[in-house]
Structure 1
Amino acid sequence: MVRRLLVVALLLFTGCAGLKTGGQTLLEDRIINTDTVWQGDYLIDGKVRVVGGATLTIKPGTRLFFVRRDRDRDGLGDAAIEVEHASLLALGTVRQPIEFRSAENDPRPGDWLEIKVDFARKLQLSHCLIRDSAHGLHAHFSKGSLEDSVLRNNIDGTRFGQGRYVVRRCLVVGNRGKGLNFRNSEMEIRDNILRGNRAGLFIFETDRPLTVVGNNFVANRHHVRLGDFFRGDIKLGRNWFGTRDRQKIDTLLYDRGEDATIGSLWAEPADSWLPGTGPCPAALHLEPDAELFGDGFFDAGAVSDGQTIYLPGWDGSAYAFDSRGQRVWKQALGEVADAGPALDGGRLYLQTWGREVLALDRSNGRPLWRFRYPESAHDDHRQGGLVRVGKQLLVPAWNGRLYALDAGSGKLLWKQDCGAPLRAAPAVARGRIFQPSGSGRLSILSLDGQLLTTLDLGAPLLSTPLVTAGGVILVTRGGDVLALDDDGRQLWRRDLAETCYYGAPVLSDGLLYLATAAGRLHCLTADRGEPLWSVDLAGPSYATPLIAGGRIFVGDNRGVMQVFNALNGDPLARADFTNAIQSTPLLIDGRLVFGARDSRIHFLRLRED
């Protein structure tokens, strides 16, 4: 208690400067009545009030961490920023957003209270992240804007009342209550993505002009909901409501159809996902930086230890090189290698068409041990990637066996028949191995090789399963996408009706991405398989995409590497080459590295405007 009183006294004495602690400026209960600029990291443990016509300017890249402290025991954190008869300017940038978030290691909605603004002289927020709060941006009797920002994991993302507000190009996602909530305000809600909220847009009441147009509403319990005492009728502009089915849309709009005592919502549904919505990453250019020449195709994805990059090829060689394309070593393997390699502390592991597994010294490429397995009728192309788990190296073989080798010596530990051929790497999660087979069988094994269960999914499984929090997601060659729990029970199934070969699904921020041999890139919700959007690629794709920095990087069989916005599928950049790109790109030191069927390893520098 004595220490806390001393800290409070020091803060009052030093005015707005705050107390530095662990690289952060500590701000407890205080009043700001002169123009103030915040830049850097701040720890807010109390209520910071801005009054008396002062302007609080928050610089790009600033991070505000709010301590979870519930002094009034109402179940909500008390920390807040309160602006009254004053101004708040929080203008971040694409590269340097401003963050308002919980200081806790286990953040949850309601950890801190709100950014409360009353009678604002100026209220502008852009490129901000507001998360883990109770009420997000809570403004009354003001005119303000919220643009290019993210509202995530709050109870309510906003509470607007008695004013004029613009919400534009924002991502409103995963808020436990209402994504956007307002009453008696003139609102412009345009070009946003509202996803995974209990209510995407909640209209408590209003008798003022309302513009809701160009938004994508997806995977909300209700896309738009009227308040319990709202008696008027609302006409919404053209928005995408996740489906073309008018009856289904009606079930997602909470109005007189669910409660005869309230008003009605009139929707003008778009036919498909609307592009140009949500925050956009910085403009991107792919600039050729270097090339490394081989004597055959490069289909495997590269792996890296952060300094050196490793990649095998169809010329029967393994290559090691740095991020600038300078070769470190080259080692002859004796046969084609098109499977993804594996790494550990000192070894690189590869599989070749000679039905041989090799461990190489990562520093110089020298072979350390070899393991051979028997031939089969399926020995023709595309081997499964290798996986390191514990002391084991898992090897999916053409002959249908999954081999577990001692990674240090190459000694066989166990093997299990999983159905020939095995052309994809297994997935490992929560003490289980999930091995797909070209026969259509999925085998679920324990880490010591005991077969727990098998499933016949009716079509070849040619790509590695995607591990999720609740199980795995698989894709059949026929285009069925299936989510299973750890015991193989089906959670959901979605038929894309498109051929899918070796490209595996990838996961980012609760969304699933998959490139198909039909030349489409699909985005679905991972929890329910609900389609969000799909876009055309330049050609058929056998590649697994890379997700990084809010962007999707994917190659295709026409030799085009394309980049898309992961939020909305908008194209961002492309680079054209002479032959197919079937490998997953690697991003390292600001360069995109991938092999192609023009017998080259390409290095593209990423330049942002």
Structure 2
Amino acid sequence: MAGWRAISAIALAAVAAAACSLQEPLPQPRPAGEDALTVRLEASSWPLGHLESPAFDLAPVYADGRLYLADARGHVRALSAEDREPIWQRRLARPLSAGPAVAGERLIVADREGRVYALDRASGERRWQASVSSEVLAQPRYTRGVVVVRSADGRVFGLDAETGERQWLFDRTIPALTLRRNSAPAVAGSSVVVGLQSGRLVALDARDGSVRWEYTVTEPSGRTELERMADIAADPVIDRGAAYAVTYQGAIAAVRMATGRELWRRAVSSHRGLASHGAEVYLAADDGRVWAFDRRNGATAWRQDRLEGLTLTEPVVAGDYLVLGDEAGYVNWLRLRDGKLVARTQVSSAPVQHPPLATPEGVVYVLDIRGRLTALRPR
């Protein structure tokens, strides 16, 4: 396989441990007992391209048997998900900061100067280029012929997916001090849900950008600008008629999509991310704890404390497991039904800052900060 090499369990275990804590190195939790999960490492690439900054949203995506990847140096690639062989590769003239995102037959990426590019998914050829008002730090989204792009200055743009022409603009003033991390909008049908740096959640109409409702997840409070930071930096999620969002130094909340009415709210802080699956909503908190909340009322289904102190990625559901990367280069596998830590797989000596990518074929792809892509399969 071009650019790929198989790795045995022995070689995997020999990867040097990373000490990425801001203080003393953290003790590494180890799964134990007969419930431990075996994870097979299928393949690992040589670095495909550096991701450069955790603020850049350059997570890989999967569609129709292909993996799409972009890096901070302007490379965009399509790989076969079956054998990881390259299908096409393009290099854009500008360093990229967000994408790729699948938009019908287009692939959307954006750069740190506010340029948005649409490539043909089949060939990688450029179809159009558009400009927004500032750098793009969140993955674009696509729904019903509209590409939704959020720029770092607080604006949200609706672009025609076929031509790149601006259809609408939503604008809000951002606070004086915010995290250098923007959440990507959530889309479903004709709805776009945007998490703002002010702690507010806004639902827009994808057809014209008009506001349907607004809801305050966390009201900024405190004497200093630092204390008043309440960013929705983790991507909101839409599932089964509800929107879920969490704030930094604040809370997680569920809101009815039709009306914007609060369903439930719990005090917990996160700028990493959440996921919804079945009857539960999963959250990677800022302190490294992982929570499962009942989707209907917010009651705690379980909480996993063994990863406390680690900086985790957004959680991803892969089969019967919740999968999260961390800053020490590990992939952590929690059992969905009870949150038990059943496997920790070290894939790199570099941090994993983007969420793992789970495919319908049962393979989980992990991209570290250096651009090394690893394929894992749980047994």
What TM-score comes out, normalization by structure 1 length?
Answer: 0.50
Farther off after superposition, 567-576 or 430-439:
430-439
> Counterpart of 1:524 in structure 2: which amino acid?
F
- Per the alignment, residue 15 of structure 2 pairs with none
Conservation of the 8 A alpha-carbon contact between 2:325 and 2:353: yes
Q: Which residue of 2 aligns with 1:369?
A: 128
Residue by residue over 1:371-408, the C-alpha shift from the partner in whole angstroms, topping out at 9 and shown as x without a partner, is 11223xxx5xx712211111111111112111111100
CA contact (8 A) 2:103 2:147 kept: no
Of 558, 561, 566, the match for 2:336: 566
Q: Which has the larger radius of gyration?
A: 1
Matched residue, 2:88? 329
Does the CA-based 8 Å contact 2:45-2:372 persist in structure 1?
yes
Cα distance, 1:288 vs. partner?
A: 4.7
Q: 2:275 is matched with which residue: 489, 506, 518?
A: 506
Per the alignment, residue 26 of structure 2 pairs with none
2:58 counterpart of 1:300: yes
TM-fit CA distance, 1:419: 4.0
1:475 to 232, 243, 246: 246
Query: Following TM superposition, by how much is the alpha carbon of 1:282 offset from its aligned partner in structure 2, in angstroms?
Result: 8.8
Aligned to 1:593: 365
Residue 506 of structure 1 deviates from its aligned partner by: 0.8
Give per-residue Cα distances to partners, 1:536-594, cap 9 Å, x unaligned. Answer: 32753352211121111110122111111011111222211212112122233443212
Q: Tell me if the contact between 1:314 and 1:336 (Cα under 8 Å) persists in the aligned partners.
A: yes
Query: 1:286 & 1:355 partners in 2: Cα distance?
Result: 40
Match of 2:6 in 1: none
Identity of aligned residues (%): 25
Corresponding position: 1:462 with 2:233: yes
Please tell me whether the aligned partners of residues 49 and 75 of structure 2 are also in contact (alpha carbons under 8 angstroms): no
Deviation at 1:525, TM superposition (A): 0.7
Matched residues in 2 for 1:417 and 1:548: separation? Answer: 36
* C-alpha distance in 2 between matches for 1:429 and 1:304: 18
Distance in 2 between residues matched to 1:475 and 1:517, nearest whole Å: 11
| Count of aligned positions | 322
Paired position in structure 1 for 2:287 = 518
Write the distance in 1 (CA, Å) between the matches of 2:375 and 2:314.
Answer: 18
Is 1:308–1:321's contact at 8 Å kept on the other side of the alignment? yes
The one-letter code matched in structure 1 to 2:300 is P
For 1:470 and 1:607, locate their aligned partners in 2 and report how far apart those are by CA, in whole Å: 31
| Paired letter, 2:131 | R
Distance 1:334 1:423, change over 3 A: farther
Report how far residue 485 of structure 1 moved: 1.7
Q: Which residue of 1 aligns with 2:5?
A: none
Q: Structure 1: which 5+ runs fail to align?
A: 1-274
Choose the corresponding residue for 1:312, options 45, 67, 70: 70
Structure 1 residues 473 and 514: CA distance shift in structure 2, 3 A: same
Q: 2:36 touches 2:343 (CA, 8 Å); kept in 1?
A: no
Distance 1:307 1:292, change over 3 A: farther
Say whether 1:450 aligns with 2:240: no
CA distance in 2 between counterparts of 1:478 and 1:466 reads 19
- Give the number of the structure with larger relative contact order, counting CA–CA contacts within 8 Å between residues 6 or more apart: 2
Query: Counterpart of 1:415?
Result: 169
> Any idea what SS the aligned residue of 1:505 has?
strand
- One-letter amino acid of the counterpart of residue 266, structure 2: R
Greater fraction strand: 1
1:111-150 correspondence runs (5 A):
none
Structure 2 segments unaligned to the other structure (5+ residues): 1-30, 220-229
Q: Deviation per CA, 1:79-123, whole angstroms, max 9, x where unpaired? A: xxxxxxxxxxxxxxxxxxxxxxxxxxxxxxxxxxxxxxxxxxxxx
Secondary structure of residue in 2 paired with 1:439 = coil
Matched, 1:424 2:178: no
Partner AA of 2:144 in structure 1:
G
Q: 1:544 to 1:580 in 2, by over 3 A?
A: same
Q: Distance in 2 between matches of 1:408 and 1:431?
A: 17
Q: Note the alpha carbon deviations across 1:302-360, whole angstroms, 9 max, x for none.
A: 21223210011222221211223322222223344343432134211112212111101
Query: For the aligned residues, what is the CA RMSD?
Result: 2.5
Q: Is the 8 A contact 1:523 1:531 kept in 2?
A: yes
Classify the secondary structure of the residue corresponding to 2:317: strand
Which residue of 1 is the match for residue 321 of structure 2?
551
1:189-216 Cα deviation digits (max 9, x unpaired): xxxxxxxxxxxxxxxxxxxxxxxxxxxx
CA displacement 1:492-523 (0-9 Å, x = unmatched): 11012x4x11x321111211111123112111
Q: Which amino acid aligns with 2:242?
A: G
Match of 1:290 in 2: 44
Question: 1:545–1:554: 8 Å Cα contact kept in structure 2?
Answer: yes
* Corresponding letter in the other structure for 2:71: G
2:115, 2:41 → 1: CA distance? 38
Please tell me the residue identity of whatever aligns with 1:509.
G
- The TM-score normalised by the length of structure 2 is 0.78
Q: Give yes or no for contact 1:317–1:334 (8 Å, CA) kept in 2.
A: no
Are the equivalent residues in 1 in contact too, given 2:103–2:141 (CA < 8 A)? Answer: no
> Would you say the 8 A contact 2:202–2:211 is kept in 1?
yes
CA distance in 1 between counterparts of 2:96 and 2:362 reads: 27
